[in-house]
Chains A and B, each alone.
Chain A
Amino acid sequence: MPDQALYEEVARFFSERLNMAVSRADEDLLDNGILDSLAFVDLLLYLEQQFDIRIAADELELEDFRSIGKIAGLVAAHLGLKTAGAA
């Protein structure tokens, strides 16, 4: 399942690159203070490089980054757009 693969990929970034343990796909990264500005910069750079997508600064929405599940969804949407644009 592609969404599951995306989720696992993002989860691995949190645990291996940010050294942050996130236990569930829907764990709230904002309320729990896991995702702060410092981690966010690394996350965005990672998403853009890893998935070859571009997320414009004025399109950033808190809800898209609330959990690893949501982040995977954001990536999937961008990948979908990219595919649609290429078709």
Chain B
Amino acid sequence: MIERLQDWIASRAQQSPEATAVVWKGETLTYGRLEEVSNQLARMLAGGGCRRGDRVCLLLPKSTAAIIGILGILKADCTYVPLDPSCPAARLAKIVETCGCRWILAGEGAAAVLDVLASNYDFGWPIRVGWLDEPTRAWPPPGENFRVDFSLTDLSALPGGPVEASNGPGDPAYIMFTSGSTGNPKGVVITHSNVIHFVEWAIPYFGIGEAERLSCHSPLHFDLSVFDIFGAFAAGAELHLVTPDLNVLPNKLAGFIRESELTQWFSVPSALTYMAKFDVVKANDFPKLKRLLWCGEVLPVPVLAYWMKRLPHVTFTNLYGPTEATIASAYYTVPGCPQDLTTAIPIGTPCAGEKLFVLDEHLRAVEPGVIGHLYIQGVGLSPGYYKDPAKTEEVFVRSPFSADPGSRIYKTGDLARVGEDGLVYFLGRADSQIKSRGHRIELGEVSTALNALEILRESAVVAVPTGGFEGATICCAYVALPHRNVSPAALRSELGKALPGYMLPTRWVAMQELPKNANGKIDTRLVKEHFPSERTL
């Protein structure tokens, strides 16, 4: 087994330097070139003061340069922190501050938000910027308040030979920030070893080979992208980056799979449902496709049947797992097209090195068929939340099933049961976290941001299933402060300065008073009744 994620690329670059590693917007990058440029970037970062364990933020849209960025950061013995360039600066600033990033690798498409970060926030230390774009494109970058320390062109002056690593399997590889219920995003730390174990299980299980073409559909700040990237590089396959604007049009997503001749499409159920809704998949479409994987949400069975009927040559696998347990912890390969559209698709059985437990409130295993809390133990478990021991201790608890005091289980917050078939079935959340179009959202973070606007007397944020492709829709009922006339459009616009678009409520109701229960608390059940399902498309 390799020790670090970047070791896969080094060995591929040695074996077949001319093989294609990354394809993006018609451009290709070979393994040899990827290895060379990422080595140069690692040297640049080390020369800029980056040391083992330092966090380096990545603030650029998914691109060849972003992939080079990830590898360069790892080769500099550092931890990459992928930031969503479409996220408002206020939320990004919290992340930069929490993880103490001194370097940001940025590029085209992120200049505006970087400019706001640099001018409006004082982190107590200077932010240094590596511009991962050619100077010929938008040079100098259109920001006025940040200075660029180097660009992609400057790297060519540095040696491209192997960089000696001092980090090891237990060092953090990345920190991904997820929605936090109290308003601050939580940083999940994941080590090289966490990822290596998953990829080493997945490659033989799925039989991913050298000549394959794998999708990278998930954004880089979602951990599904980690499997796309390192699964492809471990197998010596081609990684095909899907640009985010394709997500708007279902026929363009289908066209991408078809024209790139993908062999693997790894996506989220909302995208698969979206494509099915518009019926953009033809009979026996995507002849090169071998497997289709999804993760992050429940895929409606009628949608699964739609895909399986049209693509009889493809294997369909449901993956399950929170970011805290690295990419996925359980899998279920669907044996045949479901005949009964009301049957549930299980999350299945644990991946190698993982265990799933369904437990009661006293951490005792419940009987098969009984609903309990889902816990995960094993090689994928994160060391915890970055600089947040309290939150870490809340959900990473000592395993009652091991004599080893260091053995931990992770409380997912998901409800589950073990079926008569021995497989695990997901049954929803035990708290107010929701999934909307693959995004994991704590409604508490939305409420906190709304309250911070100080223009509402009170508000309630609820999630309502619409029956649409997106899963749950976020809805907000509010009461404006006296003598304030607040329109939903104005509220949404204000809130958009604090939260990314996918967290903004899509439906709003202004009220005189929010419904309360006998204890004087907002009755969310009654609030939900103000948002009936109405979409018919």
Please list the residues of chain A having a beta carbon within 8 angstroms of any beta carbon in chain B: 15-16, 18-21, 30-31, 33-38, 40-42, 44-45, 57-62, 65
Q: Are B247 and A37 in contact (CB under 8 A)?
A: yes
**Would A36 and B469 count as touching, CB distance under 8 A?**
no
**Is the Cβ of A37 less than 8 Å from the Cβ of B536?**
no
B280 touches A37 (CB 8 A): no
A37 near B537 with CB under 8 A, answer no
With a cutoff of 8 Å between Cβ atoms, the chain B residues found around residue A61 in the complex are 249
21 contacts between A and B (CB under 8 A): A15-B489, A19-B492, A19-B506, A20-B489, A21-B490, A31-B245, A33-B86, A33-B501, A36-B437, A37-B437, A37-B469, A37-B470, A38-B468, A38-B470, A38-B506, A40-B248, A57-B279, A58-B251, A60-B250, A62-B246, A65-B249
Min C-beta distance of A76 to chain B, whole Å: 20
| Nearest neighbor of B473 in chain A, beta-carbon distance | A38
* B206 in contact (CB, < 8 A): no
Which residues in B have their C-beta under 8 angstroms from that of A65? 248-249
Q: Give me 18 other A-B pairs in contact (C-beta within 8 A), A19-B491, A38-B473 excluded.
A: A19-B487, A20-B492, A21-B489, A21-B490, A35-B248, A36-B248, A37-B248, A37-B270, A38-B506, A40-B248, A57-B279, A58-B280, A60-B249, A60-B250, A62-B246, A62-B248, A65-B248, A65-B249
Among B245, B250, B489, contact of A30 (Cβ-Cβ < 8 Å): B245
B interface with A by C-beta (< 8 Å): 86, 109, 245-252, 270-271, 274, 277-280, 437, 468-470, 473, 487-493, 501-502, 506, 508, 535-537
Inter-chain contact A21/B493, CB cutoff 8 Å:
yes
CB-contact partner of B468 in A20, A21, A41, A44, under 8 A: A41
CB proximity of A42 to chain B, nearest CB, Å: 7
Tell me how far the C-beta of B330 lies from the nearest C-beta in chain A, rounded to whole angstroms: 27
Q: Is the CB of A62 within 8 A of B245?
A: yes
Contact flag A60-B492 (CB < 8 Å), given A38-B437, A45-B536 = no
- Residues from chain A with a CB closer than 8 A to the CB of B501 are 33-34, 36
Is there an interface contact between A62 and B437, defined as CB atoms closer than 8 Å? no
Nearest CB of A to B474, in Å: 10
Task: Please indicate the chain A residues that have their CB under 8 angstroms from the CB of B493 in the complex.
Answer: 20-21
A36-B502, A37-B470, A62-B245 in contact; A19/B488 too (CB < 8 A)?
yes
Cα distance A87–B277 when bound, in Å?
A: 33
B-chain residues with CB within 8 Å of residue A30 when the two chains form the complex: 245, 248
Q: How far is the CA of A38 from the CA of B86 in the complex (A)?
A: 16
List A contacts of B536 (CB < 8 A): 45
Complex contacts, B247 vs chain A, CB 8 Å: 36-37
